[in-house]
């Protein structure tokens, strides 16, 4: 097992974007502040998207101004377009993430445009990010299956991942949005992708619908991937992907891979605290 695994904590964003109630800004801040002490170095704090589309993420700008920033931790957010990017920069995000989909139908349901149009929106965003020195991460959703279209061709995933890297994303996270991946389908996808994409440019984002996420992570590690997205308490889902259950839980990721195999020292007591905190949200 390589000792270089990194966690990208998406709980405050992917975890809280799909709750049946809106978690208060105060509680979102408390969660991020607690996660800041776990030893995890990247925390996705929220999204700069339309409040009409995802009311749970409203106020991410206020939240970013209220969190206690810990040195060495990067605080990131989702930005679908230049409007969102400008707001994220105003709110002092350390880096941003753009998100595309390998499924045409999911792209329209999620961000109200085609895959090609989404790339057109990302071009000025990445240009501006480069000018001001802000790192941009990419997501590709539905890398294995789409809730509307079924199986997705790995050739389409590969084309999109390469395009995002070519535009300037430092890393692209592969979203198994509805958690249909198995070690076999992840292997087949990664054999295709890693033929001409450096695995150090890829991350895994496995929703844990069928309890395969940790096995999928192990499979991905064997192809050279070292960054995995997870959510505290296994929270998560996407409002536009029926059937999308929670993300791989951060605890399951750490225990499943072994704490000694991560780049940073992880504080399990702080993790417990963060898990207790989310249980108190209403």
Binding site for ligand HMG (CB under 6 A): 14, 17, 47-50, 53-54, 78, 80-81, 83-84, 99, 110-112, 139, 141, 175, 177, 205, 207, 238, 240
17 binds, among Mg ion, ligand HMG, none (CB under 5 to 8 A by kind): ligand HMG
Is residue 208 near Mg ion by the rule CB under 5 A? no
- How far CA 11 is from CA of 76, 159, 208, 249, in Å, comes to 12, 28, 13, 9
Nearer to Mg ion, 20 or 72 (CB): 20
Nearer to Mg ion, 39 or 179 (CB): 179
d(CA 161, CA 202): 9
- Check 45, 194, 238, 263 and give the catalytic one: 238
Q: What is the DSSP string of 26-86?
A: HHHHHHHHHHHTTT-SEEEEEE-S-TTT-GGGTTHHHHHHHS-PPTT-EEEEE-SSHHHHH
d(CA 278, CA 282): 9
Q: Least distance from C-beta 101 to ligand HMG, angstroms?
A: 7
Which two three-digit tokens encode residue 67? 């969190």
d(CA 39, CA 81): 31
Which two three-digit tokens encode residue 91? 């709110």
Q: Least distance from C-beta 195 to Mg ion, angstroms?
A: 25
What b-and-e string marks burial along 87-117, b requiring 16 or more CB atoms within 10 Å of the CB?
Answer: bbbebebbbbbbbbbbbbebbbbbbebebee
Catalytic residue list contains 238: yes
Q: Least distance from C-beta 105 to ligand HMG, angstroms?
A: 14
Nearer to Mg ion, 173 or 261 (CB): 173
Which two three-digit tokens encode residue 274? 């963060």
112 binds, among ligand HMG, Mg ion, none (CB under 5 to 8 A by kind): ligand HMG
Nearer to ligand HMG, 27 or 50 (CB): 50
106 binds, among Mg ion, ligand HMG, none (CB under 5 to 8 A by kind): none
Q: Which residue is nearest to Mg ion (CB)?
A: 14
Binders of Mg ion in range 6-45 (CB under 5 A): 14
Q: Which residue shows structure tokens 């292997």?
A: 187
d(CA 163, CA 9): 25
Nearer to ligand HMG, 245 or 251 (CB): 245
H helices, E strands: number in the chain: 10, 10
Q: Phi then psi for 13, rounded to 5 degrees?
A: -105, -75
Q: How many residues bind Mg ion (CB under 5 A)?
A: 1
Q: What is the CA radius of gyration of the chain?
A: 17
47 binds, among Mg ion, ligand HMG, none (CB under 5 to 8 A by kind): ligand HMG
178 binds, among Mg ion, ligand HMG, none (CB under 5 to 8 A by kind): none
Q: Least distance from C-beta 236 to Mg ion, angstroms?
A: 6
Binders of Mg ion in range 239-268 (CB under 5 A): none
Q: Which residue is nearest to ligand HMG (CB)?
A: 175
Nearer to ligand HMG, 75 or 240 (CB): 240
Enzyme catalytic residues: 238
Q: Footprint of Mg ion on this chain (CB under 5 A)? A: 14
């Amino acid at each position: 097992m390589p000792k270089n695994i990194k966690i990208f904590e998406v709980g405050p964003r992917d975890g809280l974007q799909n709750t049946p109630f809106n978690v208060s800004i105060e509680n979102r801040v408390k969660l991020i502040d607690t996660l800041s002490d776990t030893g995890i170095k990247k925390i996705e704090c929220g999204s700069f998207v339309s409040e009409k589309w995802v009311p749970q993420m409203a106020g991410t700008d206020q939240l970013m101004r209220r969190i206690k920033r810990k040195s060495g931790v990067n605080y990131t957010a989702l930005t679908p377009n230049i409007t969102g990017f400008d707001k994220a920069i105003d709110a002092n995000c350390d880096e941003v993430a753009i998100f595309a989909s390998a499924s045409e139908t999911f792209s329209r349901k999620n961000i109200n445009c085609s895959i090609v149009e989404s790339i057109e929106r990302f071009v000025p965003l990445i240009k501006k990010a480069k000018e001001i020195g802000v790192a941009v991460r990419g997501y590709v959703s539905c890398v294995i299956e789409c809730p509307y279209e079924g199986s997705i061709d790995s050739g389409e995933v590969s084309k999109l991942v390469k395009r995002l890297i070519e535009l300037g994303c430092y890393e692209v996270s592969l979203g198994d949005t509805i958690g249909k991946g198995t070690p076999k389908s992840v292997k087949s996808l990664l054999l295709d992708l890693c033929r001409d994409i450096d695995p150090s440019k890829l991350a895994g984002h496995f929703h844990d619908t069928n309890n395969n996420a940790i096995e999928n992570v192990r499979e991905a590690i064997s192809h050279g991937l070292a960054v995995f997205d997870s959510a505290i308490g296994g929270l998560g889902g996407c409002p536009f992907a029926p059937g999308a259950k929670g993300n791989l839980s951060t605890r399951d990721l750490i225990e499943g891979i072994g704490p000694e195999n991560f780049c940073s020292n992880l504080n399990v007591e702080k993790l417990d605290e963060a898990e207790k905190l989310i249980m108190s949200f209403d």
